[in-house]
Amino acid sequence: MTTKTTPKTAREDIYTRITNGIVEQLERGVRPWFKPWNAEHTAGRITRPLRYNGEKYSGINILTLWMSAELQGFVSPFWMTFKQALELGGHVKKGEHGSPVVYASTFKKKEEGDDGQETEEDIPFLKEYTVFCADQCEGLPEHFYATVTPPTETLPRIEQADAFFANTKADIRVGGNRAFYAMDSDYVRMPPFETFREAESHASTLAHELTHWTRHPSRLDRDFGRKRWGDEGYAIEELVAELGSAFLCADLQITPEVREDHASYIESWLKVLKDDKRAVFTAASHASKAVDFLHGLQPQPAS
């Protein structure tokens, strides 16, 4: 029987290292996906991390790069490899340390069965490489560094958010003093807009509930085996909704606001992340899929 060595140790190291970094932040009471950006760049007050060509990162890479930017105080949302910086006419500053990003790849595993026939299987694993923020580089084109003074006023309503949510055609019912998604009846309940401290609190809360809304069997059919309030399935689904809200708010250029009840989730998230080093990867992937689904419900521009 012939086999090819599985890069198991490297894979586990990536999962463990990234998860441990997130756990460390949560234990300090800091959510690495909550406002981990600087609102001074012309790419937008709020944005997901961007590749050198403007393409948005997805999944776990959003969290790792937001966390890296927050810890190091970076302003630019653009990230690139050492080689890409050179190709753009710049270079990474001497002494700078990069940040890890990952992508899914496969390797081929060959096995010989009892009948003497050889079979080949594609085995998925994560590959890691290093990127640098534009703030860590010199000589890049000006738009990688361009900054603005962010506006200080808060708008009464956020038009692009209201339009985005309306375009989902979700059944959003207003009333009461609690925000939630009822899957059996397939509707979102939201307190009146006037009861929120500000428009961005309302928008981020609705983004959270609409992420839950995508789990319905008629949509993404997402199920983590949630049986009761507070169990592991519940905690993972809440983490998906939390990350989905953060990702969507970044796309809509909204600063997500902390809901008071979110603080109570940190303990359950910590337990899940400590028990399963892949949980946050799973949650981030599902959150990206949920946000992509919501984007897919928006009117498409005329060709």
| Best CA proximity match to 84, nearest among 72, 92, 76 | 92
Closest to 292 in 3D by CA, of 12, 29, 5, 48: 48
The tens digit of pLDDT for each residue in 23-78 reads: 887 877 667 776 434 445 656 556 789 999 999 999 999 989 988 887 787 888 89
* CA 249/CA 276 separation, integer angstroms: 27
SS3 213: helix
The Cα-based distances of 215 to 80, 83, 250, 256, 265 in angstroms read 34, 40, 21, 21, 19
Tell me the pLDDT band of 106, cut-offs 50, 70 and 90.
Answer: confident
Residues 6+ apart with CB under 8 A from 93: 136, 137, 138
pTM of the model: 0.73
Cβ(101)–Cβ(129) under 8 Å? yes
Name which residue leads in pLDDT, 236 or 3. Answer: 236
H helical segments located in 123-277? 159-167, 199-213, 232-251, 265-275
Comparing 11-15, 42-46, 104-108, 180-184, the range with the smallest average pLDDT is 42-46
